[in-house]
Structure 1
């Protein structure tokens, strides 16, 4: 039986806003690293089984994929992925290392540039979520790997049935380049349940102020679909 979890509308809005604040801070960090304006937005968030996430990306992206992966552990645990189509990843690398780098050196620098980008974006999201939920997470060093969508969402053999994916579409704008990508957080049901409880606690802390004010802090429009 597939794992299931439900969130109230308010919990969905709060999680949406946590993610938006995280990518906003990640964009600021990338801007300092690149020296150019970086815009990051999360126009859609979904939760689904891993096989559905693999199928969704497979339908959207017919070419090879590049992913930066980091494990996270703490109040909630799982595996975070920043995924790009290969062509998009090359555009991102060129934006990071500059157009004056000889083509023969790009391949040498690509792995490092991708790992650093993944570290900035994934850490930005995870650290912001943890801080705002008043918890801490331990995040592993980034790993870069390539493959098809099925490999990206391979299910752990010791937990083959209860995995879910918190799946985020992201839009990049770097030096006037349109760079699309995806963030996925693979978590088991206990971790997602723990995250749901932390979000409920977060809402209790801010509801005395104004949750709508929290939502106005983000410039991107985000929806959650289950």
Structure 2
């Protein structure tokens, strides 16, 4: 499997951080309060080991939003939170007088909106810096467990670009992940664009 050089990892972190910043501003408008999204920590893992390598005990029950993007390289982008964290985020978006069971009724719709904002902001940041265009499908929401992730092919021709983030809202800090599922050819295409970006900055 291809590895990220330190320069490539730093460049991807900076590029995705631009998108995360845009997403935080949009989410702040929705909740009418300041939302902070941490600068993402970037890593690359195989899809066949994602459950054991990435998802710890806190991720026993998952709330996921996925969007398929096509363009100069294709990716399935996923926003993933532990189920309890997803409900905490949704509760901040809704009427504070709602009961917990009422909040859960709105989870899928609210998470799709959050995922749409964050995932599109990250892809748009890449598109702007690379001078390319992507097309995204509608967001889809999923519930699952790490041991039965239907979105992952579990084979060696798929790699996952992982962005670990923390979302802070009203003094509550919530851990989640952004995952970008890529074929080997799509990963190579992405890294070619990253290398071109670094060259323009005189760093390659």
Alignment of 1:31-180 (within 5 A): 31-61=28-58, 63-152=60-149, 154-156=151-153, 160-180=155-175
Q: Does 1:188 align with 2:146?
A: no
Tell me: CA distance 1:5–1:148, structure 2 relative to 1, closer, same or farther (3 Å): same
Tell me: CA distance 1:9–1:107, structure 2 relative to 1, closer, same or farther (3 Å): closer
Aligned mates of 1:40, 1:88 — CA distance in 2: 14
The residue that corresponds to 1:15 in the other structure is: 12
Structure 1: which 5+ runs fail to align?
A: 212-226
Contact 1:73 1:138 in 2 (8 A): yes
The residue that corresponds to 1:215 in the other structure is: none
Aligned mates of 1:43, 1:117 — CA distance in 2: 17
TM-score normalised by L of structure 1:
0.83
Q: Which has the higher contact order (CA 8 A, sep 6+)?
A: 1
State the number of aligned residues.
203
Tell me: CA distance 1:12–1:107, structure 2 relative to 1, closer, same or farther (3 Å): closer
Contact 2:47 2:156 in 1 (8 A): no
The residue that corresponds to 1:224 in the other structure is: none
Q: 2:195 aligns with which of 197, 200, 203?
A: 200
Shift of 1:93: 0.5
* 1:64-105 deviation line (CA, Å, top 9, x unaligned): 111001111101112111111111011000011131234453
Structure 2: which 5+ runs fail to align?
A: none
Aligned mates of 2:162, 2:131 — CA distance in 1: 23
RMSD value over aligned CA atoms?
1.8
* 1:139-161 deviation line (CA, Å, top 9, x unaligned): 1111111111133364338xx43
TM-score normalised by L of structure 2:
0.92
Tell me: CA distance 1:142–1:43, structure 2 relative to 1, closer, same or farther (3 Å): closer
Shift of 1:11: 2.1
